[in-house]
């Protein structure tokens, strides 16, 4: 998944009369094998914000380690909920360390 795909799957822009809200989809694992996702508001901009401000905010969300992390082994950016720990993603944990998800 490249950044563009991450943005289309995990970040959405909601606009109402007053504000532009940037939402990020976060994944949690209440039970093993049963991921759950929910949208949280990551950022709020004035309704009149120019598109480049919105894009800059989207980029900032991607780079915010609260939401996304870059895996040290495959160097791909992943949603936080797909990380095995703070450094490597679940795919790499499975492939390289025999961890079963
Ligand atoms: Zn990885």
**Structure confidence by residue, pLDDT tens digits, 10-68:** 999 999 889 999 999 999 999 988 999 999 999 999 999 999 999 999 999 999 999 99
d(CA 74, CA 72): 6
Q: How far apart are CA 56 and CA 14, in angstroms?
A: 16
DSSP class per residue in 12-48? EEEE-SSEEEEEEEEEEEEETTEEEEEEEEEEEEETT
Distance between Cα 54 and ligand 1 center (Å): 28
Q: How far is ligand 1, taken at its centre, from the CA of residue 98, in Å?
A: 13
DSSP class of residue 73?
Answer: T
Tell how far the Cα of 92 is from the centroid of ligand 1, in angstroms. 4
Dist CA 68 CA 26 (whole Å): 9
pTM above 0.85, yes or no: yes
CA–centroid distance, 90 to ligand 1, in Å, is 7
């Amino acid at each position: 998944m490249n950044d563009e795909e991450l943005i289309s799957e995990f970040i959405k822009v909601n606009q109402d009369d007053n504000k532009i809200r940037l939402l990020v989809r976060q994944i949690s694992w209440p039970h093993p094998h049963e991921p759950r996702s929910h949208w949280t508001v990551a950022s709020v901009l004035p309704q009149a914000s120019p598109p480049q401000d919105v894009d800059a905010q989207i980029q900032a969300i991607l780079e915010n380690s609260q939401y996304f992390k870059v895996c040290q082994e495959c160097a791909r950016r992943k949603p936080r909920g797909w990380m095995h720990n703070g450094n490597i993603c679940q795919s790499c944990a499975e492939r390289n360390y025999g961890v079963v998800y």
